[in-house]
Amino acid sequence: MLSCTAGYGRRLVSSLFVVFFLSRGGWKEVQGSVMKGKYQTRRGFIPAAMFNVKSFGAAADGHTDDSNAFLAAWNKACRFRGKVGILVPRGTYLLGPVRFAGPCRRASSVTFRNKGYLKASTDLSKYKPGGGWIEFAWTEGLTVTGGGTFNGQGAEAWPYNNCSRNINCKLLPTNLKFIAMNRAVVRGITSVNSKFFHIAVVDCMNFRGSDLRISAPEDSPNTDGIHVERSTGVDISKSQIGTGDDCISIGQGNSQVTLTSINCGPGHGISVGSLGKYPNEGDVRGLVVRDCTISRTANGIRIKTWLDSPSSSSASNMTFENITMNDVRNPIMIDQAYCPFSSCSSKVPSRVELSNIRFKDIRGTSLSPVAVTLDCSKALPCRDVYLENVHLELLRSDENKEGLASTSSSCKNVRAKFIGTHIPSPCP
């Protein structure tokens, strides 16, 4: 039960806002007014105001651009004191690119509660190259939740993606981009048909994502589910991801990243990299991938680094454990000669050093006769690579017309250590 206390200020009423009070059952709505002050719960005094985008002019008709209404609600909430938030009620909202920027110095936390269906503008001239459709930046204690959907409407943009042919291609917008956030939580949302990546986590600390639903067609280009770069303390769990590219990609400069209970597929699997493409990339260290299922993907667990890296870097202390592979083409792969283009002229070995990598309790079926590929750099051979209890059977399929009975391993520039039982047989 909540009660206003006389010692905590006056009541301020305005028809522009909708307020929610924190109760034991969650946010409770009081229509048509905002109360400014502190409200008593059994847990103490908690200021709590939620700003409804419809009160700021959002049409929610799926045709009118509601970007200004969303930004007005954010700006009002960002200046409010205490625990605040933005409510997107049920309905269909069209948005152009929007950036919800902080810092929100007076707010102790900000909740973006999307219960609606958000559609991205298909006019590519509105977007900055490499930017996001919806960006959250420089904010402490953000929570994005509500069960709503973010639809990037990528089908009209995918034909303009030429990144598979042009190393200097113009990047299309990411659905949700989190920039320099601390203590952000993203929970219980859906992202579909992004023009490029679905979710990007860049320069963040203590980021938590869970119960995410991410999907795009298997042939959609560069629609990575979640991309993490230059971030520390990232935890992604209990999510379903199926796209046209990596379910999750761990880029350069990351540390202490944990991925658990991810159902991945279709797509390109869970990847570290690609690394070593640009000068002065940061190292990757402290990655754990555990209790995941990867189904009908081009790759399972893959570590990929470019040939002819412009500078040295490293990736170390990585564990992949208790992972099920269902009909995966390349279940375990280290590829230090990565090149996604049709022709790559350079023969200079990768300068990314890989070490302390453990694959443990990996089981399932492989579409490829070579189920384990460890192709390390000639200049910097992989060190301390362990495979423990790997069991990958060959799936009989059109790719196995010869009827090969078992899988095999391929190793270059690495002396891997094999522990326990193994199918395929260890490298000689």
Question: Could you list the active site residues?
Answer: 268
CA pair distance 171, 164, nearest whole angstrom: 11
CA distances from 208 to 132, 177, 205, 228, 283 (A): 19, 14, 9, 12, 21
| Tokens at 3, concatenated | 């009660």
HEC sequence for 185-247 = EEECCEEECCCCCCEEEECCEEEEEECCEEECCCCCCCCCCEEEECCEEEEEEEEEEECCCCC
**H-helix segments, 1-60:** none
- Single out the residue of 122, 56, 61 nearest to residue 92, CA to CA: 61
At residue 158, the 3 state secondary structure works out as helix
What is the helix (H) or strand (E) element at residue 262, kind and residue range?
A: strand 255-264
- The H helix count followed by the E strand count for the chain is 1, 35
Cβ–Cβ < 8 Å for 22, 89 = no
Cis peptide before 343 (omega within 30 of 0): no
How far is C-alpha 198 from the chain's CA centre? 7
Q: Which H helix or E strand runs over 179?
A: strand 174-179
Do 360 and 388 form a contact (C-beta atoms < 8 A)? yes
How far apart are alpha carbons 292 and 307 in whole angstroms? 29
Q: Exposure of 38 by Cβ count < 10 A (0-12 exposed, 13-18 middle, 19+ buried)?
A: middle
CA separation, residue 7 to residues 4, 14, 149, 160 (Å): 9, 21, 41, 60
Q: Which two tokens stand for residue 115?
A: 């219960």
